[in-house]
Amino acid sequence: MMPDAANADAPVRSAARGRYRFREYHVTAVPDSLAVPTVAAVCVTGEESNCGATSGTLHTPDELTRWIAGHCAATGHELYEQTTRTLLRADPGAWQ
């Protein structure tokens, strides 16, 4: 490499550059058998904006269905977004 003409006093950098290798760490995510999955729903019915009513955290699909049925009966709203959460346990693999 030649020095930069605008900065002639600057040291010349070596053309050799370091080579980096990235290894992958493989992890398997396994559902925790002791944890109880949770479900929740948010009412997303609305033309201008979503209703936004939420069921809160529930522990069975039946509880969620009952909440949706009650909200639908009270409001006539028919569109909901469901979230299911489960705890996962990381089972670390080997570096590769």
Residue 81 in any domain: the answer is: yes
Question: From CA 63, how far away is CA 8, in angstroms rounded?
Answer: 75
Q: Where are the alpha helices (DSSP H) in the chain?
A: 61-75
Q: How many domains does the chain have?
A: 1
Within a domain: residue 78? Answer: yes
pLDDT above 90 (res 80): yes
* This prediction's pTM: 0.62
Residue with tokens 């729903």, as numbered in its chain: 41
Higher pLDDT, 58 or 88: 58
Quick: pLDDT tens for 34-61. Answer: 988 999 999 999 988 999 999 999 999 9
Query: Is-contact 29 92, C-beta < 8 A?
Result: no
Q: Which domain holds residue 65?
A: 46-87
pLDDT tens digits along 12-36: 665 567 776 666 667 778 888 898 8
Q: Which pLDDT belongs to residue 28?
A: 78
∠ Cα 25 34 83 (to 5°): 75
